[in-house]
Amino acid sequence: MKRILLVVFAIICTTVVYAVDYANVIVPRPVSCEAVEGNFALTPKTVVRAESLSLVRAGEIFAEDLEVVLGKTLIVKKSSPRTNAINLSVDATTLESEQYMLKITNVGVWIVGGSERAVFFGLQSLLQIAAASPLSNDTLTLAAVTIADKPHFEYRGSMLDVCRHIFAVEDVKRYIDILALHKINKFHWHLTEDQGWRIEIKQYPELSHVGAYRHQTIVGRNRHSKVYDNTYYGGIFTQEEVKEIVAYAAERYIDVIPEIEMPGHAVAALTTYPYLGCSGGPYEVWTRWGISKNIFCAGKDTTFEFIENVLTEVLELFPYKYIHIGGDEAPRDEWKKCPHCQKRIKDEGLKDEHQLQSYFMERIERWLNERGRSIIGWDEILQGGISKSATVMSWRGSKGGIAAAKLGNHVIMAPNTHCYIDYYQTSDHKANGEPLGNGRFPVTLRKTYDLDPYVGLNEEQQKFIKGVQVNLWTEYISTFDHLQHMLLPRLAALAETGWSYGNKDYSDFSRRMHILRKLYDKQGFNYAPYFFNGIE
């Protein structure tokens, strides 16, 4: 008997039991979360009371999301009693623009935000609390709580490459839903590539027919393989579809940053219009992965004319201030041989091809600045020198971001070491049966969580770090199920660095993730199982 008791005791001690503290469940972790006596009975009769028309829309989105938890849809109204209600309001005088207060009391729920976006964040917290709360007889029992919350970083992003593989409009919207749940506020949309051009440009209709399609696609991860799938592949997002997606994101308070790549990763454009390249082609939309030597010619004025015409239409579609203009992985081989590029170097008094890339990027940046926009570029834009106003996205580790912050440029940290979620996510991808991924090194959930965007910077320099981002390249991802498998739960780890930097704790994050998982299940998100099964 004694032995049996000892065994039982040992089992109890070694089994991690996650006690559900019903309100202390939010990912990313709030600044403060104080339990109060009492609880609120949320029923199908509870009304969402929103003080403005756009908050009514935020309330409707919340009601739709809550339906998977409650099984019923709440009514949203502009005026109704404040009790047995979820009251939404803005107080821009006392709260910061992304700051919110969430109060659950015996008689109702109050969310006050410094802006409508902040109220939307409060609703995401409420949704997570609701999903963690007991449900019986159509009633959710919400534990009373007072939450005060605001993000650490203003930029919390997630990039999606729709060029290597394209995804349906509905899938992109679902991707945006996932970002919204985690209080991600920037969707970086990678739209042009060697392997496909994905945005309709009315002045250049051939991009939709030529640049948007490749004859076949290499199979597997070996870039030098001779095995192809023999399948014509591609597609385009029409301008109407782009508008629909940007509007969908805007309703969820997410800014969309389009990326139009230059001077490299341009083979799809060059195939469509060979005059855009140094040699004049012919070119072929790429059917394999890697870095092509064929890039935009920096010597011909017709290249800049093309890019400016494309950007003119892009600016009409994307209202947010920032435009990403790429700048990564542009080999200089063709520029070295090209008389136009060499003449440009001479005429502009440039030292070499690195400075020619700086000339290229700065010329486009000036054009965008004149139209009230700002640029983001990958960390290669540092190489030949950059303007003070360019924002650097650090991807080859953090060193580019550190160098840029020391120069006084704004930085977004997205180092591949922590933020490339196309990489495998366990230390033994074969043993764990992971689907095909980028195999450079594993980026586990813990690794993503441990990102410290301030490493190597003093207090003054840290002010230039505007935020963090995960990047989802899709060379090996052709289905939306696989995409979600790569995105979740690592997006949650990134979200916590972006929102809760300075207040992170992996063991508490793990506890909350096991609770959030239930909402993932209810939403039908195809998250990766490894972490939840104790594998990293």
- Residues forming contacts to ligand ACM in the complex (CB under 6 A) are 328-329, 378, 395
Is 38 strand, coil or helix? strand
DSSP letters, 98-164, are T-EEEEE-SS-EEEEESSHHHHHHHHHHHHHHHHHS-EETTEEEEEEEEEEE--S-SEEEEEEE-SS
Rounded distance between C-alpha atoms, residue 274 and residue 247, angstroms: 34
Contacts of 2 (CB under 8 A, 6+ apart): none
Region near Zn ion per CB under 5 A, out of 28-36, 211-219, 255-263, 271-279: 271-279
| Closest residue to ligand ACM in the complex (CB) | 328
Residue 108 dihedral angles phi and psi, to the nearest 5°: 175, -175
* Residues between 204 and 263 with contacts to Zn ion, criterion CB under 5 A: none
Q: Closest approach of Cβ 395 to ligand ACM, in Å? A: 4
Least distance CB 269 / Zn ion (angstroms): 14
Q: Least separation, in Å, of the C-beta of 471 and ligand ACM?
A: 6
Q: How far is the C-alpha of 441 from the C-alpha of 79, rounded, in Å? A: 55
Quick one: DSSP state of residue 514? H
Q: What is the DSSP letter of 382?
A: G
Q: Is residue 107 classed exposed, middle or buried when 0-12, 13-18 and 19+ CB atoms within 10 A define those classes? A: middle
Nearer to ligand ACM, 296 or 378 (CB): 378
Least Å distance, CB 331 to ligand ACM, is: 13
Max Cα distance, the chain (Å): 92
Residue 438 pairs in a beta bridge with 423
Nearer to ligand ACM, 281 or 442 (CB): 442
- Minimum CB–partner distance for residue 328 and ligand ACM (Å): 4
What is the smallest separation between the CB atom of 336 and Zn ion, expressed in angstroms?
9
Q: Put residue 84 in one of left, alpha, beta given phi > 0 → left and psi -120 to 50 → alpha.
A: left
CB of 189 to Zn ion, least distance (A): 28
330 touches Zn ion by CB under 5 A: no
C-beta closer to ligand ACM: residue 395 or 464 = 395
Residue whose CB is less far from ligand ACM, 378 or 480: 378
Q: Can residue 341 be called a binding residue for Zn ion (CB under 5 A)?
A: yes
Cβ nearer to Zn ion, comparing 278 with 381 = 278
**Residue 51 interacting entry, from ligand ACM, Zn ion, none, C-beta within 5 to 8 Å by type:** none
Q: Which does 511 bind (CB under 5 to 8 A by kind): Zn ion, ligand ACM, none?
A: none
Q: Residue 60 binds which entry of Zn ion, ligand ACM, none, with Cβ cut-offs from 5 to 8 Å by kind?
A: none
For 456, counting Cβ atoms within 10 Å of its Cβ (0-12 exposed, 13-18 middle, 19+ buried), the class is middle
- Within residues 296-325, the interface with Zn ion by CB under 5 A covers 297, 299
Q: How far is residue 290's CA from residue 195's CA, in Å, rounded to a whole number? A: 10
Question: Of ligand ACM, Zn ion, none, which one sits near residue 378, judging by CB under 5 to 8 A according to partner kind?
Answer: ligand ACM
Catalog residues that contact Zn ion under the rule CB under 5 A: 278, 297, 299, 338, 340-341
